Amino acid sequence: MSANTAHTNDGNGILLYAGEMIILYAKHVEMSFSSITESFFKGKKYGNLYLTSHRVIFLNTDDNALKSLAMPFSFMNDIRLEQPLFGANYIEGKLTGQPGGNFEGEIGWKLTFPKGGCIDFGKALRQAVILVQNQGTRPANAPPPYVPPAGSYFAPPPAYFVAQPGNIGGGMQAPTHVFPDQPEEGTVYVFEQPPPYAGIPMNTPNQMYPDLRQRNVTNPEVPPPYPSGSNPTAPPAYDDATKLPEKPKVA
């Protein structure tokens, strides 16, 4: 697990690895933590959740010290779906931090879904974790240190990073009927570097980068790891970039 390493400089987008695919996207999710010492984990967090082929990414939509959280399946354990008699359903579990990822040790986490879909998301998450951990790729002692990705990154169209249901391997069934939304245009960026940890097998390999290079896509410079340095600001969202200027008001 690494904190504040999976978001763009403006905080409005996420950074994926090459070949990493988004399987589910949930908006307006609440997240909280237990067994914590770092101040940026304290209090409830509100944002969007991405279940990818390799991890869960939480992107905070509030102005908060915790901007993003990357939760690789290999480092998750003790995941439970809770359905209390009173109150909303929730998912909880434990997560091991990566050295160099702005947190080390183990932390408890909890997710609730005010808009619904908790059980469906939780079942998909548990299935993903089982598929990955059954590959036997979880480190025996501690997770490897977090290393900022090298190279350039791109802002490809959704077809390159949104997984199609028939392309997900391992027999995983993604409840896309419960979570039909997709991330907004211009909020997902993809590195050239492949993921440093195991993921769900995909039936068709991702062929993104040769195609993008043939089309002469321009790359911004790779951002330095959070919080040091200054990152290039991500391009504006599609709606902001294409909207017409407001007409002047007539007195």
Query: Residue 137: what pLDDT?
Result: 53
User: Is 70 exceeded by the pLDDT of residue 175?
Assistant: yes
pLDDT digits (tens, 9 = 90+) for 42-90: 999 999 999 999 999 999 999 889 999 999 999 999 999 999 988 899 9
List the 14-16 sheet strands across, edge first.
14-16, 188-191, 153-154
| Best CA proximity match to 76, nearest among 62, 57, 60 | 57
User: pLDDT per residue over 209-242, tens digit each?
Assistant: 445 444 434 344 444 444 444 344 444 443 443 3
pLDDT for 9 beyond 50: yes
User: What domains lie within the chain, and their CATH numbers?
Assistant: 2-239 (2.30.29.30)
The band of 162, judged by pLDDT with boundaries at 50, 70 and 90, is: confident
Pairing of strands 14-16, 188-191: parallel
Residue bearing the bigger pLDDT, 249 or 14: 14
Mean pLDDT of 93-104: 86
Coil, strand, or helix at residue 154? Answer: strand
Proportion of the chain above pLDDT 70, given as a percent: 75
What pLDDT does residue 143 have? 60
Three-state secondary-structure class, residue 24 = strand
Tokens of 204: 């068709």
Cα–Cα distance for residue pair 109/97, rounded to 1 Å: 12
End-to-end CA distance of the chain: give it in Å, rounded.
Answer: 56
